Structure 1
Amino acid sequence: MDMNSSYHPFLGQIPEMDARVVEFPPLKVKDIPMIETRNAEGPFRVIVNMVEQTKKASGLIFNTFKELEEPEFDKLQEQFLVPTFAIGPFHKYFSASASSLWTQDRTSISWLDTQAPKSVIYVSFGSIAEMHEEKLNEVAWGLANSAQPFLWVVRPGLVNGSECLEILSKELLEAINRRGYIVKWAPQQEVLSHPATGGFWTHSGWNSTLESICEGVPMICSPFFGDQMVNSRYVNDIWKVGIMLEKGLERVEIESAIQKLMVGKEGEDMRKNITYFKDKLDLCLKPGGSSYQSLDNLVDFISSFRSRV
């Protein structure tokens, strides 16, 4: 896991953030998960220790499916000489609503029932992401100016110290109310599988990314931290099933991305690409499929330890 120190501002020179990472060609420097600290050596040591301890494991279990990340699994086999089991997507084995952190507003489904097929952009930045007031304004204006209907999850805590909507101008609220519907939390799997949903603007958490692929819904990606940047880069550059907002949350880029995804030729191509992965995913969960077989192999692997006792 060697990484050039020049990629980290506290270990080398200030890096060019849009430059490609030589060791991991899909990624740009700005996609590398960073921990903001003056003691860069500490977090680096933690990561190295995590990798070394993982190599000592009996096996590795992943919430993904082989057809989505096959080249990455080949690389893992070179680094971790233990059995690996791709048995995802996990949420296909149980309902995600059982672990929801917020009460789901089912009026979102009733509202979707009134919308045309594939016409709505669903917007949700997950359960813990936060943004400043000015960024919420940029999101709101981007949605209002896109001329597309939208379902927007604005949960408590999305903006620190604010009830969120109270900071928006009367003009902006009127524009939102004409075109969209806002809830504090939504039953995401149902929303993504609804016929009216044509796109998903997401923070690119891994669960949300997989859920979108499961339902064949192309994405707009606004990563906040951690693996979300890497997930977004794969969505945009490798799988080509969505658009990463490279400039962050700016209304002009937001408006453009929504229109490309929902009514543009680019969106049609992304929809075809994500349908391809959806079909592969559907097959992987059936008898003989990769995740189905991997789960069987995992059960056999665990059972083998009992026979050794």
Structure 2
Amino acid sequence: MTRKDGLLALLVVVVWGFNFVVIKMGLHNMPPLLLAGLRFMLVAFPALLFVARPKIPFRLLLGYGLTISFGQFALLFSAIKFGMPAGLASLVLQSQAFFTLIIAASVFNERLQAKQFAGIALAVIGVLVLVEASLNGQDVTMLGFMLTLGAAFSWASGNIFNKLIMQHEARPAVMSLVVWSALIPVIPFLLASALFEGPGLMLQSLIEIDTITLLSLVYLAFVATIIGYGIWGSLLGRYETWRVAPLSLLVPVVGMTSSALLLGEKLTSLQLLGAFLIMAGLYINVFGLRIWRRKLIKG
């Protein structure tokens, strides 16, 4: 990977990590389902006027949009609204990697390797530690935590649809899939907002929308989604997946750091332990015990 592309990859990681701070800021004056709906509305319009529709079966596009867009972000935005720290959410959301492995093993009969079992085991222990911290009332609501896990599961389900889409003979460009799938959740978000948040609150939020919320929407829609996925998709198209994908492990590092610096979020020792175990599980899932083996060999 060239230095320029390496810097672009790191830029996307920073953008996606900072995304969680922006979500928290956007929620200060707007309910979560409405905020998410407006985000995807801005992603879809007017971009779909300039981006060709992916030539894939509508059922795949629908499944992808309802899982990776609607399900994931309805639950994630709600989780942060209901007390899940933004930084911790950026990490717990990465448990989607393990949900994806488990679902793929069932759907595609993919065999899990030893490193993946080890990674899953470590991550599960980390999640249990965070649950214990939540039950002890350490600044993490159980509702927010469970909603974040639900968001991770929805993301993982979307990954399965993504694999089916990419296996289709009319494999679409990344930007085509991002833009047109963003159209799918707009109506579900608005309906869900009307049902759970109420038309009155929706109208009030739109009338009283402020600069912070507007800037948050611009960031979420254009910077994190269109620009972020555009660059990431371009890199995946030019380099092997193993060169690009592992860099996403840095997203929760940026998320937790930026949340600590800008939102004043602090983790207890128990939460830090849980976060470390999940991060270690993610690392082992991708790299195995490569570094430790190298050290043993050198030693």
TM-score when normalising by structure 1: 0.26
Structure with greater helix percent: 2
Going by fraction, where is strand more abundant, 1 or 2? Answer: 1
Q: Higher RCO, 1 or 2 (CA under 8 Å, sep at least 6)?
A: 2
* Bigger Rg, structure 1 or 2: 1
TM (norm. structure 2) is: 0.26
